[in-house]
Amino acid sequence: MIHEHSKLLLWADLAGTFLFAVQGALIAVPANLDLLGVMVLAFSTALVGGIIRDVLIGAVPPASLRDWRYATAAFTGGVIVFFLHPYVRSIPAPFIMTLDAAALSLFAVAGTEKALLYKMHPFIAVLLGAITAVGGGTVRDVLLAQIPNVLRSDIYATAALAGATVMVAATKLRVPPALAAVSGGLVCFLLRVISVWQHWNLPKAFTG
């Protein structure tokens, strides 16, 4: 078991945690959840993707439960949205979407890096990077008794997969770690932002 993080991993995780918690709480409030429910959705959106990754690679207790700062970051995001909801909601949607795309990229890259650290096969590391990035939002939607949005529309998990793939490929090509991470993150971020702007979607199966 590896008990140290790379610094990159730690800070990427903490920054993304706060951003995802805010976004999870913003979805919890209109669903008529109480204070506890908002906190649980903030926590789930922010941390459950990484927790699933850590459980699957055998890094238990998960990083986000070994360091109290992760849960604190998530609950801080949740509390801010709970008490300042009308103000937070008045933030323009494109700004929220851009922050969310940044968090998505951070999580995809951090998740992929950790999976590679734990010697996972490159193909599996890509999947684990994407699970880190979208697993929390998926569980959030399940808790709201909805089909996870990520399964139906938008280039969201796809952007995470693309970023993770770039990062794994760059790592295999012996690109320095920081550059590999930045490249992967940038691909994820740009693909997400451009796809929202251009209304891109994945195809659905021809059922005729």
Judged by CB under 8 A, the chain residues 168 through 197 that form the site for a copy of itself are none
Question: Is residue 199 involved in binding a copy of itself (CB under 8 A)?
Answer: no
Report the distance separating Cα 103 and Cα 191, nearest Å.
14
The binder of a copy of itself chosen from 83, 176, 179, 197 (CB under 8 A): 83
H/E stretch holding 185 reads: helix 177-197
Tokens of 147: 């089909």
Q: 30, 16, 24: which is closest to 43 by C-alpha?
A: 24
- Surface-to-core class of residue 90, CB atoms within 10 Å of its CB (0-12 exposed, 13-18 middle, 19+ buried): exposed
Measured between alpha carbons, how far is residue 82 from residues 34, 47, 127 in Å?
9, 18, 33
Q: Are 163 and 108 in contact (CB under 8 A)?
A: yes
Candidates 8, 10, 15, 65; binder of a copy of itself (CB under 8 A) is 65
Pick 19 or 51: Cβ nearer a copy of itself: 51
- Please, which residue, 69 or 178, has the CB nearer to a copy of itself? 69
Q: What is the footprint of a copy of itself within residues 100-119 (CB under 8 A)?
A: 118
Contacts of 161 (CB under 8 A, 6+ apart): 108, 126, 127, 129, 130
Chain mean position to CA 204: 24
Binding mask 137-166 for a copy of itself (x = CB under 8 A): -x---xxxxxxx-xxxx---xx--------
Residue 120 sits in the site that holds a copy of itself (CB under 8 A): yes
For residues 162 and 166, give the distance between their C-alpha atoms in angstroms, rounded to a whole number.
Answer: 6
Contact between 207 and a copy of itself by CB under 8 A: the answer reads: yes
- How many residues of this chain interact with a copy of itself, rule: CB under 8 A? 61
CB closer to a copy of itself out of 31 and 190: 31
Q: Please identify, using beta-carbon distances, which residue of 135 and 176 lies nearer to a copy of itself.
A: 135
Residue with smaller CB distance to a copy of itself, 44 or 105? 44
User: Binding residues for a copy of itself, per CB under 8 A?
Assistant: 28-38, 40-41, 51, 55-58, 60-62, 65-68, 71-72, 81-83, 85-86, 118, 120-121, 123-124, 127-128, 138, 142-148, 150-153, 157-158, 201-208
